[in-house]
Amino acid sequence: MTRAEMSSDDEDTPLSQTISRKNQRVRKIVPEEDSDYDSDDVLSKQPKKKKTKTLSKEKKIKVKSDSDDDDDEVMSKKLEKKKKKKKTKTIKKSIKKEKETENDLKEEENNDDEEEDKEESYKWWEEGDVKDNGWTSLVHNGVMFPPEYEPLPSHIKLYYDNQPVELPPEAEEVAGFYAALLETDHGKNPVFQKNFFNDFLQILKENGGTLNGIEIKSFDKCDFSKIYNYFEVLKEEKKKLSAQEKKELRLERQKEEEIYKFCELNGRKEQVGNFRVEPPDLFRGRGKHPKTGKLKRRVHPEDIVLNLSKDAPIPKPPKGHKWGEIRHDPNVQWLAMWRENIFNSFKYVRLAANSSLKGQSDLKKFEKARELKSHIDSIRRDYKRSLKSKVMLERQKAVAIYLIDVFALRAGGEKSEDEADTVGCCSLRYEHVTLQPPNIVIFDFLGKDSIRFYQEVEVDKQVFKDLIIFKRPPKQPGHQLFDRLDPSILNKHLQSYMPGLTAKVFRTYNASKTMQDQLDLIPNEGSVAEKLLRYNAANRTVAILCNHQRSVTKGHAQSVQKANFRIKELIWQRIRLKKSILQLDKKLRKKNPKFYAEIDDLTKEDEIEIHEKIIERENEKYQRKFVRENDKRKFENEELLEEKVLNEWLEKVEDLKKEFAEEIKTGEIVLKPTLNTVEKLEKQIERLDLRIETSSIQLKDKEENSEVSLGTSKINYIDPRLSVVFCKKFGVPIEKIFTKSLREKFTWAIESVDENWRF
DNA sequence: CCGAGTACTTAGGACCCGCCGT
DNA sequence: ACGGCGGGTCCTAAGTACTCGG
C-alpha cells in the first residue's frame, strides 16, 4: 500500500480544522461602491517627492520639457527619454552610482536625436560582472485586484433536491467556482468534490446559511447545472461579440493594467510579472492532491505586504482599505507578497522574465552550470570510486549523484502528507525501482507535477549491486531507497567540489551540454526549414532527457484517428486506381504482381467502412453549406433557400452511395472519363504515393511530439547562447527559434555572443 | 544542527488569438 | 467569412535551496 492510498481518506479532522482556523482571517467584503478603488499612479503623480539620487535627473528633464507634469504618462515618457544607452560601458559599478546622474545628463543632451523607441533596455551584460541580486531603489504602484464578485441574475440558481436555493453572494460565488468546472476532470474528481463541498458548507455557515431555509447537507443532491449552463451562455456571448468590440475591451483592459505593468528598479523602468493578485477559486492541485478542490480565498489589501524603497511613495490602497504591511527590504526581489490559505505559504509579485534582475539570475545560473564543466570529471571519478565505499552513507551519496547526473533526476526533497505523493532522487522508495539482472533498472514513479517517470535503463554494474543492497530486507515497499540521504546532505557534499553546486545544477549542465553536443552534429546545409527541424530534434533530445511531458490534447486521439483514416482512404483510392488499371488490362497484374498485391489487403469491411465515412462526410458538407447559406441570406434579408435545394444536393450523395453499393456488389469500378487510360491512372497513383508518404511522416512526427514538451527546456535549461550561436552560424533567423517574449527574456544572450561561443 | 520559514526557479495546463484551409 | 487548430502567453502549482532562530 502506498502512502497516497493510506492517507487519501480519513482526512476529515485535519481538513476541517484548517478551515476553521482560516476562518478567523476572513474579512468582510466592503460594499461595492466603497471598493471602487482607484489606485493612483504614484509614480507619476508624485514625482516631485522622489528623493532618490538616481531619480534626480528626471526632475530636471521634466522642468525642462514638461509643464503639465501630473499627466499619467509622465513616468513612461521620462523613463523612455533617459533610457539612452550608455556608450561608456566601462564605468565601474562602484563609482557608477555617484556619477550616474551627471553622466546621464550630459548624454541626455548629446543623444537627443537617437530614435525614441529604441530606448528600453539597460544592457547590464555589457557592464562587466553581474552584481549581486537585490536593488538600490524600487518604486512601484502595488498590485491589481480582481473585480468584486458579481452575483448571478436572480433566475439562475443552485438547486438542492430539485428546489431552488437562495444563497448569500459569498456562498454563491463558491458554488459558481464549482459549477464552472462541472464538466472537467476536476469537477468529476471525488476528492475535489469533497474538499469543495466542505469549504462551501463552511462559507455558507459563515454567512448565515441559505436565505430560503433550505438546508444543504449532501453534495449529491446539489444541482449546479443551471449555473453551469449560464456560464456557457456567457462564454458563447463573449465569443459572438467578436466585432471590434473585442478589441475595445482589450484596450480597456490594457489601460487598467498600464500603471501596474511597470516599476522603477534602480532608476530604470522594468516590467512587473504577475501584478494581478490571484483571484479566489477552487484550488486545482495536480495529480492525486489531497487538498484539491479546497477554496482559495480572496486576497484583500490587508493581506498584502508591499516591498519598496524607503523614500518611494506608497501606492494608494483601494478605497476603504489598508495595506497589510510596508517593507523596505532591498535584499529580496519581490514587490509584493501575501499568504495563501491552502498551505499557508507565500505568493510573490515579482519582476517579469525580461527584467534585468531575472536576466542576471539566468546568466548566473548558466555560468554556474558551465563552471561545473571543470569539476565534472573529478566528481564522476569520485562517485564511481565511492560506489564501493564501506560507508553506507557514502555509497548512497555516490549512487544518488550517479542517478542525478546520468538520468537527470531532481533532488527529491521530503514532502508532507497533505501534498501529492511525488518523488525525486532522494525520496525514491523501494517500489519505484525494479532491478533486473544483470544490470537493468526500471524506474517507475511520479515526479514533479505528478508526471510519470518511466524508464528501463542499463546502469553501471556497481550501481546495480548497490541498488540491490539498498533494497535488501528488511526494506520493503514504502521504505526509502536512500534512507540516509536528503537533498541538503547531498548538496553539502557537492559544495565541496564547487561553491554553489547543488543537485539542480546537474540538470542545467546536462541539458545544455546535450544540446551543445546535438547541435555540433548538425551539418551546415539545406534549407532553413530543414535546419529548424534538426534544431527541434536536438531540443527534443534534451526534453526527453529531462522528462518534460505534455498531456495529449483533448482532440489528439481524434485527430490522429482522423489522420489515420485519411491515410487509409488514400490507400483505398490507390487500390481503386490499381483495380481500374486491371479492368482495362488484366494481364498487367502478372507482369508486376508486387505492385498490385495490396489490392488483396483491402477487405470488404474496410471498403464498406470507407464508403460510409465518405457518404457521411458528403452529407454533412451539404447540410452545413445549406445552414450557412441560409444564415447569410437571413442576415442580408434575402429569400431563403427551400428545403428542396438541400434535397437536390443530397440526391447527388445518394447517387454516389448507389455507385458504391454497386461497386461492392460487382467489384466493378465505373471509370471516370478523365481517368480512362492506363497511363493516366498510373500518373494518378504516383501522386497518391507521394501524398501517402508525406501524410505518414507528418503523422509520425505528430505522434512522437505529442507527448514531449519542448518549451520547458528551451525556457529553463538550454543556455540561450547556444541557440543564438546556432542561428548566427547557420543563417537561421532567431525569430524562428525564440518567440517575441523569449527574445526579450534572452536579450542578454542574443546581444552578447559571437559565433564561436561554446557552452 | 535542525526544522520551520522564506524566496526563488521550474512546470504543465488553460486560455486566447491569429492563421489556415474550406 | 468561418471554424478548427496550433502556437504563444498567462496563470499558478510544485519544485529546489537557502536562511534563521532555537
| CATH number of the domain enclosing A183 | 1.10.10.41
| Residue tagged 530534434 (cell numbers) | A537
Q: Do A296 and A276 form a contact (C-beta atoms < 8 A)?
A: no
Does residue A729 fall inside a structural domain? Answer: no
The tens digit of pLDDT for each residue in A407-447 reads: 999 999 999 999 999 999 999 999 999 999 999 999 999 99
A277-CA/C9-C1' distance, Å: 18
Quote the pLDDT of residue A53.
Answer: 34
**Of A225, A240, A255, at which residue does a domain stop?**
A240
Q: A380 and A334, same structural domain?
A: no
Residue A280 CA to residue A297 CA, distance in Å, equals: 5
Backbone angles phi, psi at A140, to 5 degrees: -150, 175
Number of H helices, E strands in chain A: 28, 15
Considering the domain boundaries, does residue A204 fall inside one? Answer: yes
What is the distance in angstroms measured between the alpha-carbon CA of A456 and the sugar C1' of B15?
36
- For A548-554, what is the mean pLDDT? 83
Here the cell at position A716 is: 529553463
pLDDT the model gives residue A472: 93
- On strand B, nucleotides with any atom < 7 Å from a protein CB are 6-14, 17
> Distance between CA atoms of A137 and A743, rounded to whole angstroms?
26
- Give the model's pLDDT for residue A340: 94
How much of chain A, in percent, has pLDDT values that exceed 70? 80
Query: Which cell numbers hold the place of A8?
Result: 487519501
| Average pLDDT of span A520-534 | 89
Q: Is residue A735 part of a domain?
A: no
Average pLDDT for A173-192? 95
- Bridging pattern class, strands A336-339 and A346-349: antiparallel
Confidence bin at A83 (pLDDT 50/70/90):
very low
- Domain termination site, one of A291, A317, A352: A352
> What HEC string does A96-127 produce?
HHHHHHHHHHHHHHHCCCCCHHHCCCCCHHHC
Q: What angle do CA A348, A151, A217 make, to 5 degrees?
A: 90
Closest CA to A709 of A536, A533, A530: A536
Residues A213 and A322 in one domain: no
Q: What's the whole-number mean pLDDT along residues A517-534?
A: 90
Give the range with max mean pLDDT: A105-109, A374-378, A695-699.
A374-378
Position A14 scores a pLDDT of 32
Q: CA–C1' span, A419 to C13, in Å?
A: 11
Residues A221 and A275 both lie in one domain: no
| Predicted pLDDT of residue A485 | 93
CB of A187 closer than 8 Å to CB of A178: yes
Helix (H) or strand (E) holding A443: strand A440-446
Q: How far apart are CA A235 and CA A223, in angstroms?
A: 20
Task: Indicate whether A233 and A247 sit together in one domain.
Answer: no
Does the structure show a pLDDT above 50 at A39? Answer: no
Tell me: pLDDT of A94 over 80: no
Q: What is the CATH number of the domain that holds A436?
A: 3.90.15.10
DSSP A683: H
Among A574, A595, A586, A570, which residue's Cα sits nearest to residue A681? A574
| Beta carbons of A62 and A74 less than 8 angstroms apart | yes
- Nucleotide with the nearest C1' to A369 CA: B9
Q: Are residues A570 and A672 in the same domain?
A: yes
Report d(CA A20, CA A14) in Å as an integer: 10
A184 to each of A179, A181, A188, A554, how far by Cα in Å?
10, 5, 6, 11
The pLDDT value recorded for residue A411 is 95
Contact assessment for residue A126 and residue A244, using Cβ atoms and an 8 Å cutoff: no
**Residue tagged active-site, from A160, A228, A402, A717:** A717
Which residues lie across from A262 on neighbouring strands?
A: A271
Q: Are residues A697 and A560 located together in one domain of the fold?
A: yes
Domain membership of residue A197 (yes or no) is: yes
CA closest to C1' of C12 belongs to A278
pLDDT confidence band for A667 (50 / 70 / 90):
confident
Q: Is the pLDDT of residue A203 over 80?
A: yes
CB A540 within 8 A of CB A708: yes
Question: Would you say residue A379 lies in a domain?
Answer: yes
**Contacts for A356 with CB less than 8 Å, ≥ 6 apart:** A122, A124, A265, A268, A270
Distance CA A664, CA A667 (A): 5
**pLDDT score for A36:** 35
**pLDDT tens per residue across span A156-165:** 999 999 999 9
CA A181 → C1' B2, Å? 42
Residue A633 is predicted with a pLDDT of: 67
pLDDT for the residue A239: 77
Give every CB contact of residue A262 below 8 A, 6+ residues apart in sequence. Answer: A75, A76, A79, A269, A270, A271, A272
DSSP A317: P
| pLDDT at residue A658 in the model | 85
CA separation for the pair A63, A233 (Å, rounded): 54
Residue A628's contacts (CB-CB under 8 Å, 6 or more residues apart) are none
As a whole number, the mean pLDDT across chain A is 81
Residue that has been written with the C-alpha cell 497516497 in this structure: A4
Q: Which residue has the higher pLDDT, A391 or A695?
A: A391
A220 CA to B12 C1', in Å? Answer: 31
Phi-psi region for residue A458, left (φ > 0), alpha (ψ -120 to 50) or beta? beta
Are A304 and A277 spatial neighbours (Cβ–Cβ below 8 Å)? yes
**Residue A443 φ then ψ, to 5°:** -90, 135
Residues 6+ apart with CB under 8 A from A729: A524, A755
**Are residues A270 and A383 located together in one domain of the fold?**
no
Backbone angles phi, psi at A346, to 5 degrees: -95, 150
Q: Which residue has the higher pLDDT, A61 or A408?
A: A408
Residues A86 and A105 in one domain: yes
Confidence of residue A82 (pLDDT cuts 50, 70, 90): very low
Residues A385, A454 within the same domain: yes
**What per-residue confidence (pLDDT) applies to A636?**
65
CA of A361 to C1' of B7 (A): 13
Q: What is the pLDDT of residues A277-301, one digit of tens each?
A: 999 999 999 999 999 999 999 999 9
* More confident of the two residues A720 and A612: A720
Distance of CA A647 to the CA centre of its chain: 48
Task: Based on the fold, state whether residues A150 and A218 are members of the same structural domain.
Answer: yes
Tell whether the model's pLDDT for residue A17 goes beyond 70. Answer: no
Q: How many angstroms is C1' of B1 away from CA of A405? A: 28
Q: What values do phi and psi take at A704, rounded to 5?
A: -65, -35
Among A74, A82, A79, A68, CA closest to A44:
A74
Q: Look-up: residue for cell 495529480?
A: A287
What are the beta bridge partners of residue A433? Answer: A443
Residues A394 and A282 in one domain: no
Check: CB of residue A570 under 8 Å from CB of residue A577.
Answer: no
CATH code, domain carrying A89: 2.170.11.10
Dist. CA A121–CA A86, nearest whole Å: 11
Kindly report the backbone phi and psi dihedral angles of residue A633, in degrees, each rounded to the nearest multiple of 5, phi listed first: -65, -35
pLDDT at A631: 65
Structural domain containing residue A216: 146-240
Q: Which nucleotide is nearest to A743 (CA to C1')?
A: C8
- Among the residue ranges A38-52, A331-345, A348-362, A451-465, the one predicted with the least confidence is A38-52
Query: Could you say which nucleotides of strand C lie within 7 A of any protein CB atom?
Result: 2, 4-18
- Mean pLDDT in residue range A477-495: 94
**How far apart are the C-alpha atoms of A425 and A507, rounded to whole Å?**
12
Asked whether the beta carbons of A43 and A264 are under 8 A apart, the reply is yes
Residues forming beta bridges with residue A347, ordered by sequence position: A338
A506 belongs to a structural domain:
no
Query: pLDDT band for position A127 (50/70/90)?
Result: confident
- Annotated catalytic residue A230: no
Which CA distances in Å does A703 have to A345, A560, A706, A708?
39, 8, 5, 10
- Rounded Cα–Cα distance for residues A539 and A514 (Å): 9
So what's the pLDDT on residue A734? Answer: 93
Percent of chain A at pLDDT above 90?
A: 55
**Helices A356-371 and A373-386, interaxial angle, to 10°?**
50
pLDDT band at A120 (very low <50, low <70, confident <90, very high): low
Q: Which residue is nearest to nucleotide C6 (CA to C1')?
A: A553
Look at chain A and report how many structural domains it folds into.
4
- From A456, A476, A497, give the residue that closes a domain: A497
> Which of these, A326, A294, A296, A332, lies nearest to A310 by C-alpha position?
A326
Q: What is the pLDDT of residues A567-593, one digit of tens each?
A: 888 888 888 888 888 888 888 888 888
Note whether A347 and A383 are same-domain residues. Answer: no
What number of residues does chain A have?
759
Per DSSP, the residues of A135-187 read: -S-EE----BPPPPP-PPPTT--EEETTEEE---HHHHHHHHHHHHTTTSHHH
A503 nearest nt, CA–C1': C16
Band of pLDDT at residue A659, cut at 50, 70 and 90: confident
C-beta neighbour count of A420 within 10 angstroms = 18
Nearest nt to the CA of A505 via C1' is C16
Q: Where are the alpha helices (DSSP H) in A585-731?
A: 588-591, 593-597, 604-635, 643-666, 678-705, 711-716, 720-730
Q: Which residue has the cell 459572438?
A: A240
Nucleotide showing the shortest C1' distance to residue A488 CA: C17
Is residue A361, in this structure, part of any structural domain at all? no
Q: Considering just the CA atoms, what is the radius of gyration of chain A in Å?
A: 33
Contact yes or no for A130/A124 (Cβ under 8 A)? yes
User: Which pLDDT score is estimated for A657?
Assistant: 83
Using alpha carbons, select from A115, A108, A40, A39 the residue that is nearest to residue A78.
Answer: A108
Q: At A30, list the grid cell.
A: 466592503
Q: Is residue A85 part of a domain?
A: yes
